[in-house]
Amino acid sequence: MDSVISLKNAYIFQKENLILSDVNFEIKQGEFVYLIGKTGSGKSSLLKTLYADLFLEKGQGVVAGYELEKIKYKEIPYLRRKIGIIFQDFQLLPDRNIQQNLRFFMEAMGWEEKAKINERIVDVLEMVGLPEVLSKMPHQLSGGEQQRIAIARALLNHPAILLADEPTGNLDPEKSVEILKLFMKINLLSKTAVLMATHELDLIERFPKRTLFCDGGQIKDLSDN
């Protein structure tokens, strides 16, 4: 299978501060991978580098066909059209209903045909198990439902990979399990790769997958042990 992420001898910086050294790993199409480590260990910095919010200062990195060490500013929106990004806070627009939230995102991504936009919105809401919420406002949904909408939004543009930064961090344990199962369902059915940063080790024990560990400025692939 093709790689959707490949890092070789990569060094991750926050401004002048070195966060991670000599990072080497690949994630192939359809893989599900956890990213773990203590707060401040570099998980978010790594994810930000993968979607070009931080520039790759040293080493080589390819995400969805884009070379991170060479990417131009004008190319970053096109990279982000090929990946889906999910955060701990849901980042829904509070003054728009769910359909308007999703349509706004799609128009920003370059979708133009109204019929195709509406069809895709229905498709992704079905995927996340919330087909009935089109006209609801974000505040009318529970935290778990809002995170499902955030996942639906990340799926709209048929991404090659989902990058999830602590997506269950604001949810109770039961809802966390539901969201993780949803990621696994999407991964299985659509073959979309998933890289999920989490601190919830109990989830990993219950649903084991390949795991990358940020520790001491390094990334270790625990599946190699």
Query: How confident is the model over 43-51, as a mean pLDDT?
Result: 95
| Mean pLDDT of all residues in 6-27 | 95
What percent of the chain lies above the pLDDT cut of 70?
Answer: 99
Domain locations along the chain: 32-54+82-224
Percentage, residues of the chain above pLDDT 90: 86
pTM of the model: 0.93
CA distances from 103 to 33, 92, 94 (A): 29, 12, 14
Beta bridge partners of 25: 7
Cross-sheet strand order for the sheet of 17-28: 17-28, 3-14, 58-63, 66-67
Mean pLDDT in residue range 92-110? 94
User: Is the pLDDT assigned to residue 76 strictly greater than 70?
Assistant: yes
* pLDDT, mean of residues 52-66: 96
* pLDDT at res. 29: 94
Q: Name the strand (E) or helix (H) holding 20.
A: strand 17-28
| CATH number of 32-54+82-224, picked from 3.30.390.10, 3.30.830.10, 3.40.50.2300, 3.40.50.300 | 3.40.50.300
Whether 200 has a pLDDT exceeding 70, the answer reads yes
Q: What is the mean pLDDT of the chain?
A: 94
| pLDDT over 60 (residue 225) | no
Q: What pLDDT does 169 receive?
A: 85
The confidence band for 1, taking pLDDT boundaries of 50, 70 and 90, is low
Question: Degrees (nearest 5) of the Cα angle 126, 131, 136?
Answer: 140
